[in-house]
Each structure stands twice: as structure tokens, then as C-alpha cells.
Amino acid sequence: LAKTTQPISMDSYEGQEVNITCSHNNIATNDYITWYQQFPSQGPRFIIQGYKTKVTNEVASLFIPADRKSSTLSLPRVSLSDTAVYYCLVVPYNNNDMRFGAGTRLTVKP
């Protein structure tokens, strides 16, 4: 199972773009990358996932370079309500083992 490494915390200000990078050096060929968001005392919520290149949805973008050894979650124009912990997961193709790390605590300031 590929281990992931993320910054422990990040600070930003309202209206800025935030990029959170995750390292996963030993990702396997068929693994894909998933990001979750968690607010205090709530279960994590799925944000976005991808296998390679770029994926965009209404909430975020995910950039994955060709070697797939890292990925970057991009949150455009953050607001105070984006203050949360963000987790990067490398998930096996058959979805059978999903393990979270410590995540990145993002604090958005006014």
C-alpha cells in the first residue's frame, strides 16, 4: 500500500487559491488518488479523485504529473468555510483498502 506524505498544516486567506501537495512515491500502476475533506466532529467527505493528468469538478482541481509520484489538490478562491482537514489517499484499483494519514489542516483567515 502506497504511503502518502502531506504537510501537517497550511494557512491561507479568503479569496486565495490553495494548493496542497501529497507525495506518494511508491504508488502502484493501478492505484488512483483520492482526496477527502473533514470538518470537526464530522466524517470525511469525498472531494475529488483521479488517475493521471488533471481532473476538475465544481469544488476543486487535482493535478497529477506523469510519474504519478505526487498530486496537488487545488482549491480556488477559498473561503472561511474551507477551513478543514484535507486527506490524500492512494487507493488500490479494487477499492479494498483505504487508509488515511494525518492529513493537512488548512486554516483560512479573513
Partner 1 sequence: EAQVTQNPRYLITVTGKKLTVTCSQNMNHEYMSWYRQDPGLGLRQIYYSMNVEVTDKGDVPEGYKVSRKEKRNFPLILESPSPNQTSLYFCASSPQRSGSPLHFGNGTRLTVT
Q: By CB under 8 A, name the binding residues for partner 1.
A: 32, 34, 36, 41-46, 49, 85, 87, 93-103
- In the complex with partner 1, which residue's Cβ is closer, 81 or 94? 94
CB of 51 to partner 1, least distance (A): 9
- In the complex with partner 1, which residue's Cβ is closer, 80 or 102? 102
Q: Which DSSP string do the residues of 76-97 spell out, in sequence order?
A: SS--GGG-EEEEEEEE-TT---
- In the complex with partner 1, which residue's Cβ is closer, 29 or 110? 29
- In the complex with partner 1, which residue's Cβ is closer, 32 or 108? 32
Beta-bridge partners for 16? none
CB of 44 to partner 1, least distance (A): 6
DSSP H or E stretch at residue 48: strand 45-50
As to burial, measured by CB atoms within 10 angstroms (0-12 exposed, 13-18 middle, 19+ buried), residue 58 is exposed
CB of 31 to partner 1, least distance (A): 10
